[in-house]
Each structure stands twice: as structure tokens, then as C-alpha cells.
Structure 1
Amino acid sequence: MSIDSGTSESSAPPQKGVRMVHAIDPDQHNIFRSIAVSSESLKVNKKYFGVQCTQCQTEMKKLFNCAKCKGVWYCSKECQKKNWSNHKPTCHADERSSGIFKLVQMFSVNPVLMGYLKVGIVFECGLLDNPRIGFDTPFLARIEIAIEPSDVLNFGGLYVNDPTVEEKLQGMLQVNAITAWQSPSMRAPLTPKRLNTWREARARCNAEGFAEDPVGLIEFVGRRRTADSGNSMTAELHIPTMTLAVAMTRAPFTAVSAFTGIRTEKPLSAASCLEFINSHIRADKQNQLRLRTEMTEQDKEVIRAAGRDEDTFSTRILKEKMQREQLYAGCLQLMLRKENTGTSHHAS
């Protein structure tokens, strides 16, 4: 397994401030092409991505969603009205025309990305430590997603609040964190609805011959800085026996420095799986995976807020991601220098 630990381009020297440079492994394109799922395969896989009515759980090909948050679906106006009292507290406006739906859809039908995400979930949710999780005991993995600039130089510009960053930026999906429902930050019990969803999924897998595979739930959450609000999507999650076997072997990743060419090994873990996922998406220059989209002001503000060192959930998980992924080392050094000198630096 391999990780491209950097990207390669350099910016033109700015007239003043700090010059940010990043480099790309010359083999990045070949590495991406060798493992990436084709557009044709993703198109076929979309046919198996079903959506249920939020109120009555009817699965239909054509549902309409909440016009405000775009994060819940209904089979009729009647179901939408019945569900409004439950949905209202968590309904937040989303600038993106389809919310997070299309991005989560394309991520979910990608076997490469989901394969590595499932390995990360195995570690984070303790499936190797407790053999009853996913069988007698349900588990839920919360996946924190965000949109970042596809060009890391623009990320650095937003982070240090460089006014010269273009208003229109191409963004890409990134996975910032996996949080287990059993963790201290998520001690609230599963809602009856989610618990019933898990029980039905567990029974269905048993009936289909997967009684020895753990089953849980997965929730994709797209947060914004304001009051740590956001929209989410929840689905059942089947962990194949092969995924457990991969996690148990703990075969290390090989990381390559784009600056030095030195190869180093990274232990297989939830963190290294996320770094692989994010690096793989970043390497998709032609948007073959359909995980790129124009950034909204909400997306940009989370990065700016992290650069201002604001203490919100969305900024904390972004900074944790920056600390564990080598690509962001330059941005963190800029922030440290700014704190030490009391002056601002511009990246270009």
C-alpha cells in the first residue's frame, strides 16, 4: 500500500510575506491510475445506492428532499409534514445545491475509498478488541467530512487569511475524522429509530449468509463553523470478513516524500487509512471520482477559523487532521511563526 505524502508545484515568489511551496511525487499520476475506480464502474455502482423516506422508510428511486438542508428525503408531502417536528431542530441551510448527498453517494459507491474507510472504522470502533461489537452490540461510526481546495496552496492562503486568494475555488471532499459512537464524546444512546435500523440490517445480513460479519451504522456529517451545526446522512454498514483480515495483518503503508524521494513505512491505523483516502482524492486531477465541487463560503470559513485558532468542533478536527497529515506541515509552521512574532503572513 502506498501514500503520496506531498504534491508538487511551486507558487511564484510573492512580493512580500511567506512563499509557500509544495511538491508532487512524479509517480503520483501512475499510482492513482493503478488503483482508482473507473468512472464507468462508479456509474454502475450508483444503481445500488438506495435512499429511504425519512419518515416511513419506504425505499424508492425518486424521493424529494428538504429544500433547506437537502439532507433528508421523503416519499410524499404527508411524510414530510409528519416528520417536521423531529427534523426541525437539526435542519440547517446548506449553500450547496444538493447538500452533501451527491458527494457522499459517490464516496459510498467507491470500493477503494470505502474499503480503506472500513479498515479505519474497524480500528476506531474496536471491532478487533471486542468480538461481540456488530453482533450483540451495535456500533456507529461518525465520519466527519469537509470540502477543501483541491490546490493545497489555496488551502494555505485561506488558513492565513490571504486576501489574494481567488473567490471561486475548486474544492474536493476530505475525511477529517472517524468518531466511534462508544467514545466519551458520543455517550448518548442510539435513538430507537437508529437501533431498529441496525437490528433490521443485522437480521438481513444473517439471512443473506453474512452472519459471521459485523454490522453497524455509518453517519456522514458535514459540519460548518457556526455553532458547529451541520447536516448528516446515516446508513447501515456491513464489514466483510476480508476487511477484518486486512486490519489484523496490519500491513504498513509506504509513504513517499515528494521533496526527498525517501520512502518510509507508516503503521496501518485509522489515521493512516484517512491519510490514504484524502491523498487519493487529492490525486484525482480529472475528477474521475466525482468528488470535486465548487467551494462555498461556509467551506472556506471553517479553514479561516482554524487559522484564527477559533475553538469549535469543526476547527479542532481540521487542525487534528493537519497535525497527522504531512501535507499540512507548512501551514502549521506559518501559524506558529505568526503566533511567535505577532505578525501576519500571506501565502501565495
Structure 2
Amino acid sequence: MTSTNAIHVFHSAIHPDRAAEFRAAAPPKHIIKDGRKEITMCCTNCGKFATDEEDIKLKKCDVVSILSVICHCQKENWPKHKVHCSDALGAGIQPLIKSVTANPMLNHYIQVCLAIRFHLHDPRKFSASDRAKIMRAPLLVHIDVGIEPTKIAQFMNLYTYPDEYDEDEMEGMLQLHDLVSPWPGILQGTRTPTAVNLEVWKQARQSADEDGDYDRAVVLVQFVNDFKQSITCAIVVGEDAIDSARRAEPFVMCSAITGKETKKPLSIASCFEYINTHIRSDKKDRLLLRAPMRTVDKELIRNLGRKVDSHATRALKVKMDREHVYVRHSIEFVAEHALNRGPPTVLGEDRQIEGPAEAAEPLKMNRAERRRLQRDLQKTQKRRK
């Protein structure tokens, strides 16, 4: 078989401590459900909020803002709205963003990212007067998100074989791609807060002041899914998040393939990788962040594989370059490493989160078999050179 006809086979490896680490860090599901109930929605076009007295009906598919309301706003905006409104979008990212912002742990790390982005943790960056102005200013960021397969092998197949590979039923999960502010590559008119954005911010600012957070920044965060769906949330950057950003304790990550521990300095990139890894570890949807993969979700991954240039594909490429889960290890490297370490620890079928069930017993090799495999690997490497 020539190299041009080579078929790549993707497998996933799971660290044996992953499930235990997830259970230790994840909040109870009822906390997330209670937090989702406290989230208020508003109309994109007129800024009208849903209240206890009047529950406005909201559409799930506006182009670049919170949501559209089924009222005169949708009728007036229909020429623009109908281009992006499709039954194929389904519930989309709305319930997922609710779950992210209602999750105390994930919300904390998003706040840490905002503190880093606007230097809220570094008193040396601004004078006292400038810092006070920033804390009271309507800050705005854009976070690209996507729904990706829970199994990394499925993601890599969509990316590598965009025109050949597909599965009808594919479980997906929310993932954070990139954070930008101001937003390069986006229309100039969308880089600054709109009148509706400012109205949302003012209400959030007033609520924060009433809660005693007068000297805390309120940031408008737009979670955008390939500009087909968008949710805007006002997030107050709390003192705990600022303290975490100041301490800057690194993340310690361990490879399931090599067993090597790596320390990653605290940054927006490492926070996003930690959040995404935590979501990926959620086998039983305890975080309420899983959803069926839609055609539009698969197409974003395929378009990156096809090298289609767009803001969404560039943001996804940033994520792939950033996160260790996408690192490809050659077969020779993995096999050679296995020889040095001995037989791998095999997870039971009930412990597996990704990939096919493993064999019941680990593979055993005597010394002669190991030497023969080493010679075969060396011959293969020489032929490739």
C-alpha cells in the first residue's frame, strides 16, 4: 500500500484516574439545574426581558445575539432572520450555554479568563482611576463554541475523511474554541456593544450593584456557534476568580498514552483546555452539556479538514493546535513506549468513556517477542527514511 492510499485508524486512550478526578471536581447536577432556572432570556431586537409576570416565547436561532422573540420583532426582522432560521439547528447551544454558566466550577474558570483578558488581576497595568473606570465600563468578549463528538476518534475521522466518513447517531458535547476581544475577522459593526447589548449590561450592572459588587467588572460574553446561533450572557468577575488569576497556579495534565505529567501555566488557553477536558470526561452527562451531533456541527469539522477558511474554522484550528487530546502519536512511538513500560493497564468496559472495549487481559510478551518487535520497528523506520 502506497502512502497516498494509506488509511489512518484513530483510537483513543483513557487515563485510569480520569473518572475519579471528574467526580471530585464536578458539582452535583441539582446545583446546575437550579442555576439554569435563574437565567433570564431577552429579545435580541427590542431588548425585552422575560419576567415572572410575562413569559415571552423565544426563538433559538438568531444570527448574532441572544434570541429572537415570537412577536412583532421577528416579523419586522424576517428577511434577515429567515436566512439563518432552520429546523436543522434544533435546540442548539441555548440549553448548553445555560448549563455552562450555571455550573459554579466552569463559570469560575470563565471568570478567570475574563480577568486575564482585561488584566483585572494585575494592579500594575492601570492607575487607580483607570482601574475604577474599567470596572464600571461595558466590557465585551466573543467566545467561539462548537458541538463536537464525545469520542475523539469520531472527530478525527470527520476531520481526516470529510467526504467519506459519517455516522447517523453521534453523541456530541459543548466545547470552547477561542476567546477574542476585539474580534479580528468579524464585521466592524459587531465589535462594539449594540443598544440591546448596553441595555442587557445596564440591567446586569444594576443587579451586581444591588448584590454589593459595585467594584466588580460586568462583562458581556457572546457565545457564538459558527454565527448560526449566539447567546449573550452578562458575567460578573468575582473576587475568587481575580485571586485565582493572581495566584496563577499551573494546571497539571497527565498523558494517557505516555503517562507523562505536564504543567501548563495559567492562561486563557490552559483554562479552555481544562474546561474542555472536564466536559469530555463526563460520561453520564452529569454536567448537562451533551447533545446529539447535528449536520451543521459535523460540517464545521469537515470544513476545517477541507481547509475552508472562515472565522469558525480558524477558531476550531486554534483549539486543535492548543489541546493535547489532538496530538497524534506515531504507531512506532506508541509501540516502542509500550515496550519500555511493559503491558498497559486495561480499563474495564464499565470504566471506558471513549473507544471500543478493550481485551479482558493485557497483552503479555516474552523477551524474544519484544526483541523481534523492536527489530521490526527499526526496519520500518529505516524504510521510511
**TM-score normalised to the size of structure 1?**
0.81
Once the two structures are TM-superposed, the CA of residue 170 in structure 1 deviates from its matched residue by: 0.8
Map 1:233-272 to 2 at 5 A.
Answer: 233-272=231-270
Map 1:5-154 to 2 at 5 A.
Answer: 17-54=7-44, 55-60=46-51, 62-66=55-59, 69=62, 72-74=67-69, 77-81=71-75, 84=77, 88=81, 91-93=84-86, 95-128=88-121, 129-130=125-126, 131-132=131-132, 134-154=134-154
Shifted more, 177-186 versus 94-103: the winner is: 177-186
Query: Counterpart of 2:159?
Result: 159
The AA in structure 1 aligned to 2:168 is E
Once the two structures are TM-superposed, the CA of residue 73 in structure 1 deviates from its matched residue by: 4.1
Task: Give me the whole-angstrom Cα distance separating, in 2, the residues matched to 1:208 and 1:98.
Answer: 32
Look at both structures and tell me which one has the larger radius of gyration over its CA atoms.
2
**RMSD of equivalent CA atoms:** 2.8
| 1:209 aligns to 2:202 (yes or no) | no
Unaligned 5+ runs, structure 2: 332-355, 357-385
Q: Larger strand proportion, structure 1 or 2?
A: 1
- Three-state SS of the structure 1 residue aligned to 2:326 is helix
Task: Give me the whole-angstrom Cα distance separating, in 2, the residues matched to 1:305 and 1:85.
Answer: 28
Once the two structures are TM-superposed, the CA of residue 199 in structure 1 deviates from its matched residue by: 3.0
Task: Give me the whole-angstrom Cα distance separating, in 1, the residues matched to 2:60 and 2:145.
Answer: 21
The AA in structure 2 aligned to 1:258 is A
- Three-state SS of the structure 1 residue aligned to 2:16 is coil
Once the two structures are TM-superposed, the CA of residue 172 in structure 1 deviates from its matched residue by: 0.7
8 Å contact from structure 2 (residues 200, 234) kept in 1: yes
The AA in structure 2 aligned to 1:217 is L
**TM-score normalised to the size of structure 2?**
0.74
Task: Give me the whole-angstrom Cα distance separating, in 2, the residues matched to 1:312 and 1:284.
Answer: 30
8 Å contact from structure 2 (residues 40, 49) kept in 1: no
Residues 205/29 of structure 1: CA separation in 2 closer, same or farther (3 Å cut): same
Residues 304/204 of structure 1: CA separation in 2 closer, same or farther (3 Å cut): same
Once the two structures are TM-superposed, the CA of residue 132 in structure 1 deviates from its matched residue by: 4.2
Task: Give me the whole-angstrom Cα distance separating, in 1, the residues matched to 2:184 and 2:21.
Answer: 35
Query: Counterpart of 1:295?
Result: 293
What do the CA deviations read for 1:143-184 (whole angstroms, capped 9, x no partner)?
111011100000010011163542321111100011123778
Identity %: 30
Shifted more, 244-253 versus 193-202: the winner is: 193-202
Higher relative contact order (CA 8 A, sep 6+): 1
Deviating above 6 A after TM superposition, structure 1's stretches of 4 or more consecutive aligned residues are none
Query: Counterpart of 1:314?
Result: 312
Residues 211/319 of structure 1: CA separation in 2 closer, same or farther (3 Å cut): same
Residues 183/77 of structure 1: CA separation in 2 closer, same or farther (3 Å cut): closer
Task: Give me the whole-angstrom Cα distance separating, in 2, the residues matched to 1:160 and 1:230.
Answer: 24
Unaligned 5+ runs, structure 1: 1-14, 224-228, 335-347
Query: Counterpart of 1:230?
Result: 228
